[in-house]
Amino acid sequence: MTSQRAAIVRLLSPLDPAAVGTARFLGLNYRKHAEELGLPIPKYPVLFFKPRTALGGPNDAIVVPRIAQVDNETDYECELVAVIGKPARDVPLEKALDYVLGYAVGNDVSQRAWQIKKSGGQWGLGKMYDGWAPFGPAIVSSDLIRDPQALKISTTINGKTVQSESTGDMIFSVAQAISFLSQGSTLQPGDLIFTGTPSGVGSGRKPNLWLQDGDQVVVELENVGTVSNTVIYEKGLLPKL
């Protein structure tokens, strides 16, 4: 008799987080998203960073730590992710896409109370937690995606669509973002640029829609694939802050 053992396969991040030099994120980079929050269209790209420990695999759990549960305002953000393929400094706009190795899709998980209310607008404090930037499922070559501004991007929670838009709604295109961010600051191979989220986020809804323990969050980018993560609330007493 031949016995068979079921294989358990875990899809890892398409880049080892330890090999990522810098993970850059754009905020308010879709027109309809800025409108839903009642905020002006930014004149320049809004930039923030996440540590490498925030990067996660396409099927890893999104663990909401106890500190983020003090005020339960954990939000989702589907984003096109550009992966830099070669050193880029002072890149002209017309050459910017030549520096892209490929594209992925990611989720810029955000805790709005710490991002906006509790920390005086220090966005990093609401976005820094371990595993709060899952991305993947692979890096699709830029040779296969000639126009990153013509892709459908979406989020579903427990099978219900909550975000659905075209990357053409970006305020600053992928090329504009790369050109701007490379001025005086060298982008390195393996660096990631999360390019902002479209409208439909939980903080823009009435009533607000926050991620709950056990939710299944799926972000999808046309011609790239999906990232699917389960939300798990960390157990234990909440800290007194």
Chain segment 68-79, per-residue pLDDT in tens: 999 999 999 999
User: SS3 of 34, please?
Assistant: helix
Structural domain spans, the chain: 17-201+214-233
Residue with tokens 């991305």: 135
CA distances (Å), origin 181, targets 22, 33, 34, 188? 12, 21, 21, 12
The span from the CA of 200 to the CA of 101, in Å, is: 29
- Give the three-class secondary structure for 136: strand
Q: Which residues pair with residue 47 across a beta bridge?
A: 26
Q: Which residue's structure tokens are 């050459």? A: 95
Can you tell me the distance from the alpha carbon of 105 to that of 58, in angstroms, rounded to the nearest whole number? 9
Task: Locate the DSSP E strands across 28-132.
Answer: 46-50, 55-56, 62-64, 74-75, 78-84, 100-107, 110-111
Summarised one tens digit per residue, pLDDT across range 3-36 is 455 556 788 889 988 889 999 999 999 999 999 9
The CA-based dihedral angle spanning residues 120, 112, 220, 151, taken in that order and rounded to the nearest 10 degrees: -40
CATH classification code of 17-201+214-233? 3.90.850.10
Exposure string of 140-163, with b = 16+ CB inside 10 Å and e = fewer, is bebeebeebeebebbbbbeeeebb
d(CA 79, CA 193): 10
Q: Are 59 and 174 in contact (CB under 8 A)?
A: no
pTM for the whole thing?
A: 0.95
Task: Enumerate residue ranges in the chain where pLDDT < 70.
Answer: 1-8
